[in-house]
Structure 1
Amino acid sequence: MKTVEERQPADSFADSIHAVDLKVTATRLAVLAALSTRPHSSAEVMFEAVSRELPATSMQAVYGVLAAFTAAGLVRRIEPAGSAALYERRVGDNHHHLVCTRCTAVHDVDCAVGEAPCLTPAQSTGSAAGFVVHEAEVTFWGLCASCQAATSA
């Protein structure tokens, strides 16, 4: 397995971290590199990848990096029902997700309707009146092509 330095985009990872006013550290570089090759991954998956490269890294450090990246808008945290939180680098476009109910694979899907937040609720009354929607998260559940093929075989 190549180290962060051998992967070459380390400079762009450092630039991405600097761009959100965070300090560049080995752990932050390793988390961003791992997430770039493993989209829709849990903190546990990130920890496994990072600890291969930086054995002294703790699970808490990975959680801290993911929280800082999420707060800074560098990564997006999604929470499919019944699943651990997953993280991805695709941010800012309010896309949605397809989740396979058999193998749990997660795939991006562009907004179903129009521009972000893509979906807006009907005019609300009562306590919901005046509510402004900034983001809509839609998860489509079903079987991916591989699982469909395995089912019909």
Structure 2
Amino acid sequence: MLAEIPDLTTHLGYWLRQVSNHVSHSFARKLEAKDVTVAEWAVMRVLYDHPPTPPSRLAERMGLTRGAVTKLADRLIGKGLVARRASADDGRAQTLELTAKGNGFVPELAVLADRNEAECFAPMPDEDRKALERILKETVARLGIAAVLME
């Protein structure tokens, strides 16, 4: 006799994944029209607040590997949105920063992020949204998950 196991839908992780997939895919479609990926947007958004940033620090801040940051930076450099420069402190080291084009593009993309957030969560009562945000942030902290912009 097979052991009785719970249905997938009895797991909170199942529901988190459903919501996460929907929010992420919805945002990805919006960004696709601007020729930017969600990962590229995240790099640009971090660089918007922290220019210039060494790739290693960007990787730490975002919870990514240095290799992943290098690949993303290369793509953004190819699109003229990010520049790689020698560090002012150490000429051997490099930093990443938004170009003028990239700096001007971030607010436009932020509007898409805000629109996506509103489309996905605006129907939720404000107190529920705040409670969900608090619970998710506490869970991220408790699990030690590296998240973008967490210091």
Return the TM-score normalized by structure 1: 0.39
Greater length-normalized contact order (CA 8 Å, ≥ 6 residues apart): 2
Q: Which has the higher strand share?
A: 1
Return the TM-score normalized by structure 2: 0.40
Q: Which has the higher helix share?
A: 2
